[in-house]
């Protein structure tokens, strides 16, 4: 049966790897700096309004939120990163949790890296890219807020990120408000989930 992203529903939050659902089926993880537009992207890609609630308290959401598209097909919303004001202990916790999740998750099929198209490839983004590469995990770069740039500027940003990431990595200019890139993002996510 074809997967329908519109059926996506909240499954659970996990504060630690032991809280995660059984590691079976397929998962696609979304990561990005706080405020990059990850929640808006998840809502737009699934078409489920309010699915991922955008927390407006910087650095407070240190939970992994899991959503179920269908049995054994999940979307995983990893905590945002990059807020300078976050205390070291919270940042260390973020690292531990991410490593705990990303390091051992066998059902993880792909990794959507959400970056503001005007500020891509910051340090922690690059760290995640390196990590994904070291595990041969495919990446799709979602360059959000493309509506803030002209088409020519957005095209240039896409080219620059594609050059930096190299062959085999999808790069999409995306706008949650305008719908730009939504179909491409859906296709990437569904292709990974369909790997089962």
CB 17, min distance to ligand GDP, A? 22
Residue 31 lies near ligand GDP (rule: CB under 6 A):
no
CB 33, min distance to ligand GDP, A? 7
Residue 147 lies near ligand GDP (rule: CB under 6 A):
yes
H, E, C per residue of the chain:
CCCCHHHCEEEEEECCHHHCCCCCCEEEEEEEECCCCHHHHHHHHHCCCCCCCCCCCCCCCCCEEEEEEECCEEEEECCCECCCCCCHHHHHHHHHHHHHHHHHCCCEEEEEEEEECCCCCCHHHHHHHHHHHHCCCCEEEEEECHHHCCHHHHHHHHHHHHHHHCCCCEEEECCCCCCCCHHHHHHHHHHHHCCC
Q: Which of 95, 177, 183, 196 binds ligand GDP (CB under 6 A)?
A: 177
Residue 65 lies near ligand GDP (rule: CB under 6 A):
no
- Total residues contacting ligand GDP by CB under 6 A comes to 17
Q: Which of 32, 79, 120, 170 binds ligand GDP (CB under 6 A)?
A: 32
Compose the 88-127 pattern: x for residues touching ligand GDP by CB under 6 A, - for all others. ----------------------------------------
Residue 38 lies near ligand GDP (rule: CB under 6 A):
yes
Residue nearer to ligand GDP on the CB measure, 37 or 170: 37
The whole-angstrom separation of Cα 5 and Cα 26 is: 14
Q: Which of 59, 145, 173, 189 binds ligand GDP (CB under 6 A)?
A: 145
Q: Which of 36, 73, 112, 132 binds ligand GDP (CB under 6 A)?
A: 36
Are the CB atoms for 175 and 146 separated by under 8 Å?
Answer: yes
**Region label for 179, one of left (φ > 0), alpha (ψ between -120 and 50) or beta (otherwise):** left
Q: Pick out residues in 156-175 that bind ligand GDP (CB under 6 A).
A: 175
Binding region for ligand GDP (CB under 6 A): 32, 34-40, 54, 80, 144-145, 147-148, 175-177
């Amino acid at each position: 049966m074809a997967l329908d992203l519109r059926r996506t529903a909240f499954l659970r939050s996990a504060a630690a790897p032991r809280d995660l659902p059984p590691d079976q089926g397929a998962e696609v993880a979304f990561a990005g700096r706080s405020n990059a537009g990850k929640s808006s992207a998840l809502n737009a890609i699934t078409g489920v309004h309010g699915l991922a609630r955008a927390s407006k308290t910087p650095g407070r959401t240190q939970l992994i939120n899991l959503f179920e598209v269908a049995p054994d097909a999940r979307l995983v919303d990893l905590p945002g990163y990059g807020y300078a004001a976050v205390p070291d202990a919270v940042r260390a916790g973020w690292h531990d949790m991410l490593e705990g999740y990303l390091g051992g998750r066998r059902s993880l099929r792909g990794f959507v890296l959400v970056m503001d198209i005007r500020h891509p490839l910051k340090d922690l983004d690059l760290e995640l890219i390196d990590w994904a590469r070291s595990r041969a995990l495919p990446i799709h770069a979602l360059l959000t807020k493309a509506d803030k740039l002209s088409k020519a500027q957005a095209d240039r940003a896409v080219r620059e990120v594609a050059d930096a990431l190299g062959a085999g990595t999808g790069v999409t200019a995306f706008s949650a408000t305008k719908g730009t890139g939504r179909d491409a993002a859906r296709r990437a996510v569904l292709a990974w989930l369909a790997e089962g």
